[in-house]
A and B are shown apart, each in its own frame.
Chain A
Amino acid sequence: MSIEIKGVNKNFGDFVALQDVDLTIPTGQLTALLGPSGGGKSTLLRIIAGLETADTGSVLIEGDEATHLPPQKRNVGFVFQHYAAFKHMTVAKNVAFGLEIRKRPKAEVKRRVQELLELVHLTQFSHRLPAQLSGGQRQRMALARALAVEPTVLLLDEPFGALDAKVRKELRDWLRRLHDEVHVTTVFVTHDQEEALEVADEIVVINDGRIEQIGSPDELYDAPANDFVMGFLGPVTTLQGELIRPHDIDVSTEEGVLGAVRGEVVRLLRVGFEVRLTVQPADTHDEVSVVLTRSHARALGVDVGSTVWLAPNRGANRVPAMSRAAAAG
């Protein structure tokens, strides 16, 4: 097991950032720490890196006690949201930094920097300064710099958070492919559930300083432990007292299925291929959101004012809406 975290607590003044966190991160995998801002995921990552110290608890990296080691002795690669590029050094010098600190022979440093710049497709930019690169290029440089020292674990703190949507998507695919090539144990923090679902082998959902659930993307999506996880991994709506995904609701224009909820379409919004309906059920006040494909909506002929019957899709996963409140109470 690559990283073992036991009983970690961390407070910033009155604010509880992490509360009794136990977590084991397996070797060679890409693990996502997913959760809302301020939930403690970045703090956990920084504790693994040694950039923050836990109030209590321990951190083991590859079986070695690392709780009290300074960051430079942990052999971790860290990639920051805002790149943390060394502004006064060229791209090649940035990548070479860790190797030069380790006093590797010049020829080896040169060869290794060359390899890494090829890996991140920045060879022709090696003599530029970071200010002359785009955000995506800077982040690729930061990744090469972190990988140069052959870290035991690679830690990425919201690595694509400062990039625009298109570059973010490209880099995400690229990170996945890179990981399949390099196989270094990688932990990345994100608040974007799509990013986590797409890239990670395993997702750790963190909220309010606690771990809500650990599992593969499919496990989390198909069997969320509670309404928080369900809500965080994608859009949800409430139907008959249960949380359900809006696209898991069957809509029909006549009463067919037993127990279907009758309601009136009060809003209709088309976004590309999607049609989002807001339905006001006849028997409750809570509106239900439903998502249909454009063609399906057209075939049904629904519009604002139509009467529809809603029922959970077969195979839809549902979570009782009050599970969290009940557990807390």
Chain B
Amino acid sequence: MAETRAGRVREPVPVRWGLRLLGIGYVFLLVLWPVSLVAKYTFEDGFTALQETFADSDVTHALQLTLVVAISAVVINLLFGVGISLLLVRYEFPGKRVLSALIDVPLSVSPVVVGLALVLAYNPRTGLFGPGLASAGFDVIFATPGMILATVFVALPLVIREVVPVLNEIGDEQEQASRSLGANAVQTFRRITLPSIKWAVVYGVVLSLARSLGEFGAVKVVSGNVVGQTQTATLVVESKYQGFDQATAYSTAFLLALASVLCIVVVSLLRPKETS
């Protein structure tokens, strides 16, 4: 990285300052200012709004549910994401490019469509698996499993898109060396591959967590949005806002934003230590 910095083309001073201002202004107007307003309205009367929010059992239930759904989705996406990344980078098989393209679908399809598609596929009456699962007493749609499913779907590419480039970059020679030194596939993955992709995985997990906490559209469709039962934090924000309970809406929104910002701060604090 030092080389690229040294070799960088130096722009004239006015251009440099102009570009900086433009960049900072753009991010300020789009991100920093609006998000800070949420914080401002949350703390308008000190901590009373937050206290009231935590006293509302529907809200605390929603926050808990959000955590359960987000963490389950992240764990699933972590396992499958790393597995699929290895499959895509280390193995040749027919249909590989189709698989790679399919992984990006969740990024391009609207979450509402995702929600509807899942309802069609897994509903207890007409879906392929739905009736079987329902008769076994396992509800997918309008229940937590369906919400996890929807969240997994929308956050699917995040781990994979972080890990694949790193796997490509490190190549497979270290893995081959490990095999020739007597390590089996599991030992090689644990001792060689995983330490090399560790930071990509952490980054992917944090992005997935942030995305999962904030998922709205898909979850709204599959959850049925039942207050105190299948309502997540983002759904609470909407319903409270529409129900003219702005204070609770702002504080819940603030908590969601805080969680995401914390994720990113934690990672950026950890990361430089590793690379130095």
Contact = CB atoms under 8 A, between A and B. Distances in A.
B182 A80 contact: no
A80 B176 contact: yes
A78 B180 contact: yes
B80 to A, nearest CB: 25
A84 B183 CA distance: 15
A84 B196 contact: no
Interface in A30-54: 49-51
Nearest to B173: A84
A316 to B, nearest CB: 44
B202 interface: no
Interface residues of B, number: 17
B174 A78 contact: no
A246 interface: no
Interface string A132-153: 0000000000100110110000
B174 A72 contact: no
Interface residues of A, number: 27
B178 interface: yes
Contacts of B176: 51, 71, 78, 80, 84
Interface string B145-182: 00000000000000000000000001001101111111
A221 interface: no
Contacts of B195: 88
A159 interface: no
Contact of B196 (A74, A75, A88, A145): A88
A77 interface: yes
B120 interface: no
A51 B180 contact: yes
B177 A149 contact: no
B182 A78 contact: no
A71 B174 CA distance: 13
Interface centre among B178, B180, B195, B196 (most CB of A within 10 A): B180
Contact of B192 (A50, A86, A102, A149): A86
B156 to A, nearest CB: 28
A97 B191 CA distance: 9
B189 to A, nearest CB: 13
A80 B181 CA distance: 13
Contacts of B170: 87
Contacts of B177: 78, 80, 84, 86, 142, 145
A150 to B, nearest CB: 11
B181 A98 contact: yes
B182 A149 contact: yes
Contacts of A98: 181-182
Interface in A69-106: 70-72, 74-78, 80, 82, 84-88, 97-98, 101-102
B36 interface: no
A146 B181 contact: yes
Contacts of A84: 173-174, 176-177
Contacts of A75: 182
A87 B196 CA distance: 8
B179 A87 contact: no
B187 interface: yes
Nearest to B192: A86
A101 B183 contact: yes
A76 B182 CA distance: 9
Nearest to B180: A78
Interface centre among A50, A85, A86, A102 (most CB of B within 10 A): A86
Contact of B180 (A49, A85, A87): A49
A72 B184 contact: yes
Interface centre among B170, B182, B196 (most CB of A within 10 A): B182
A101 B196 contact: no
A40 to B, nearest CB: 18
A72 B180 CA distance: 5
A102 B174 CA distance: 18
Contacts of B182: 72, 75, 98, 101-102, 149
Contacts of B174: 84-87
Contacts of A49: 180
B180 A101 contact: no
A75 B180 CA distance: 7
Interface in A8-67: 49-51
A97 B178 contact: yes
Contacts of B183: 72, 97, 101
B180 A71 contact: yes
A157 B15 CA distance: 51
A101 B179 CA distance: 10
27 contacts: A49-B180, A50-B179, A50-B180, A51-B176, A51-B179, A70-B179, A72-B182, A72-B183, A74-B180, A77-B180, A77-B181, A78-B176, A78-B177, A85-B174, A86-B174, A87-B174, A87-B196, A88-B195, A88-B196, A97-B183, A97-B191, A98-B181, A98-B182, A101-B183, A101-B187, A145-B181, A146-B180
Given A88-B195, A88-B196, 8 more contacts: A50-B179, A51-B180, A71-B180, A77-B180, A82-B173, A84-B173, A98-B181, A101-B181
The 8 lowest CB-CB distance pairs between A and B, nearest first, are A98-B181, A84-B173, A78-B180, A84-B177, A71-B179, A88-B195, A101-B182, A72-B182
